[in-house]
Amino acid sequence: MAKVAVLMRILPEDADTKPEVLLEKIKEKLPEKYSIAQYQSEPIAFGLEALRIIILMPEDIEGGTSELENIISSIEGISQVDILNVGRIME
């Protein structure tokens, strides 16, 4: 079965929140059907750093990435979630 790789950029509510903090909060909230494949910080401006993250999910989830976006958007300290790319990968 194939999976879907979702590349996201996640912005914190303020410049004092580091990407590592957001990553830990995301790990706590994600259901088991999602897995984090890769992540890195991305400098934006004026000390603000975004979290770029690739999350793997089953391809048969109804509604595409909307559930994933809702989960991450609901986490305290996150102001914005942008989907940068979605692609199918074979295991």
Confidence (pLDDT) at 4: 93
Name the architecture of domain 3-89.
2-Layer Sandwich (3.30)
Confidence (pLDDT) at 63: 80
DSSP conformation class of 50: E
Confidence (pLDDT) at 86: 94
Count of CB atoms situated within 10 Å of the CB of 30: 17
Confidence (pLDDT) at 45: 85
pLDDT along the chain (91 residues), means of 10: 91 90 94 95 90 93 88 94 92 68
**Please, which residues have CB within 8 angstroms of residue 66's CB and are 6 or more apart in sequence?**
none
Spell out the domain ranges in the chain: 3-89
CA distances from 74 to 2, 3, 81 (A): 27, 24, 10
DSSP conformation class of 72: H
